Chains A and B, each alone.
Chain A
Amino acid sequence: MKFRALVVGLAAAALTLTACGQSGSPGSAGPVVSEAPAADVTVPGSKTFDAIKARGNVIIGVKDDQPGLGFKDATTGEYSGFDIEIARLVAAKLGYGKDKITYKTVPSAAREDTISRGEVDYYVGTYTINDNRKQRVSFAGPYFVAGQSLLVKSSNTDITGKDTLKGKKVCSVTGSTPIQRVRDQGLTDQIVEFQTYTQCVDQLLSGQVDAVTTDDAILKGYAAQQPDKLKVVGQPFSSEPYGIGLNHDDSALRGKINDILQAAYNDGTWQKIYDNTLGKSGSPASPPALQRY
């Protein structure tokens, strides 16, 4: 009897829930730069591009939980952010518009595997270029140079940079490079690790930690969401060049994407994208120099 009542109660709750619902979203940004897809693009010698052509759409690996960089709005399902815009720009110049793009989220530790197995055509998601990774994948770009920095509450005046961290609690994602750098450089011994940056920001806002540390691009995204409560402080104390991850042997596509990026740097598209996403946090930036190899 009790069991049946429970089932009926749950069914009723479920029905009422679906009856009242709103669509739309509380102020999300649409795509910043609308690029018409280029026509008749060929990238000779690129296995990845042949796969894209055969499939008819592009599969791009992205992040979906970094505001301002790679973010998926739960209320609409739309992706937005700097990385997403760059990914869309590349896809458009390769001949594929917004509707031909499939986004795929990949756990950070599995990025190299996913790219080399061809499960994504390319990966745009705060993917730092380093030599270790270059042995398994190749990079186009960099399209942005971030640096490790600190996010604190707006009211915080103690922490102004990495040297003022002694004795303070600093938070980042488990096992990530920023944590290892903090440990290696001995900036503080009170290190807190969580699964996502949002959890770290929540801990920061409730006063459990004093600062969140990771690439300043990611931090700027959070600061832009709550500019009155959070701010990014200090000079970046590392250099993280973000690149577009590609198949290791596909130099044709790499060259093509590098050309696309260079064109975007030259004609101001990059600047427009930046100003409308990360630039909203108030700190300016300019396009980096490409590293072709």
Chain B
Amino acid sequence: MNVLLDNIDLYARGFLGTIELFVVAAIGSLVLGTILAGFRVSPVPVLRTFGTVYVNIFRNTPLTLVLFFMAFAYPRLEIADISFFWRASIGLVLYTSAFICEVVRSGINTVPVGQAEASRALGFTFGLTMSQVVFPQAIRSVVPPLTNMQIALLKNTTIAAGFSVVESGGIYAALSERGYNVFVGLMWVALGFIILVVPLTLLQRNLDRRWRTAR
């Protein structure tokens, strides 16, 4: 117990960093993922190829390598000097959006083409087709895996701890240097994550149940 209380500053800082990183990366990856999905289903071959290559690269590279490049290769590009927190966020966004792109794309593909053709035959514009016909149906199959993705993102933020981002993944090292029992310290970190993840899981199950179709 005293491992937690004595080091409450470490834990508070660490989990605050986790939440900050998660919120920024979640929003960014949703935006970029949707854009990429748009690329992958667009009629322009160049955009389709770009989307496919991007997704194949980032889905098959470990997140650690992506963050590594952001931490060490980015300074050499000498574009703008941004803090490690933002570099880690960008790395997480680049990585997660590849997965989100796939989910959104599958969601779009679950809507039968007939729906879109019928709405176009009725004279709906592109915007109306999307918002009135395609989106509501796609949402049903997109949101639960998206929630899964965000839970995974929350857990992946711990990897950023190795690249100078104040994060809960670095707590154990500081505890070890201060001489505390690392095992107990890690169990508190695990508990913290369970507290963060369980609401998201409950949300996902809720959405599951609400949108399940009867058979």
Residues of A within 8 A of B (CB): 108-109, 130, 132-133, 171, 173-177, 180, 192-195, 199, 202-203, 206-208
- Contact check: which of B76, B164, B174 meets A206 at CB < 8 Å? B76
Residue B114 interfacial (CB < 8 Å):
no
B158-200 near A? 1/0 per residue, CB < 8 Å: 0001111000001111111111001000000000000000000
7 pairs, CB–CB < 8 Å, chain A vs chain B: A173-B173, A174-B161, A174-B170, A175-B173, A177-B177, A193-B164, A199-B71
Query: Residue on B with the closest CB to A175?
Result: B173
Query: Residue on A with the closest CB to B176?
Result: A109
Residue B75 interfacial (CB < 8 Å):
yes
- Contact check: which of A132, A174, A192, A206 meets B179 at CB < 8 Å? A132
* A65 nearest CB across to chain B (Å): 15
- Contact check: which of B75, B170, B178 meets A208 at CB < 8 Å? B75
Query: Residue on B with the closest CB to A108?
Result: B176
Q: How far is the CA of A31 from the CA of B161 in the complex (A)?
A: 37
Residue pair A174, B162 in contact (C-beta under 8 Å) = yes
Q: How far is the CA of A288 from the CA of B173 in the complex (A)?
A: 29
Residue pair B178, A180 in contact (C-beta under 8 Å) = yes
Q: How far is the CA of A206 from the CA of B176 in the complex (A)?
A: 30
Q: How far is the CA of A191 from the CA of B173 in the complex (A)?
A: 16
- Contact A199-B72, Cβ < 8 Å, known A109-B172, A175-B170: yes
Q: Which residues of B contact A171 (CB under 8 A)?
A: 164
Count B interface residues, CB 8 Å: 20
Residue B84 interfacial (CB < 8 Å):
yes
* A134 nearest CB across to chain B (Å): 11
Q: Which residues of A contact B182 (CB under 8 A)?
A: 109
Q: Which residues of B contact A176 (CB under 8 A)?
A: 173, 177
| A130, A174, A180, A206: residue with the most chain B Cβ atoms closer than 10 Å | A174
Residue pair A175, B179 in contact (C-beta under 8 Å) = no
Query: Residue on B with the closest CB to A177?
Result: B177
Query: Residue on A with the closest CB to B72?
Result: A202
Q: Which residues of A contact B171 (CB under 8 A)?
A: 175
B135-176 near A? 1/0 per residue, CB < 8 Å: 000000000000000000000000001111000001111111
* B21 nearest CB across to chain A (Å): 15
Q: How far is the CA of A173 from the CA of B170 in the complex (A)?
A: 10
Query: Residue on B with the closest CB to A207?
Result: B75
Residue pair B176, A194 in contact (C-beta under 8 Å) = no
Query: Residue on A with the closest CB to B170?
Result: A174
- Contact A192-B164, Cβ < 8 Å, known A108-B176, A109-B173: yes
Q: Which residues of B contact A208 (CB under 8 A)?
A: 75
Residue pair A175, B75 in contact (C-beta under 8 Å) = no
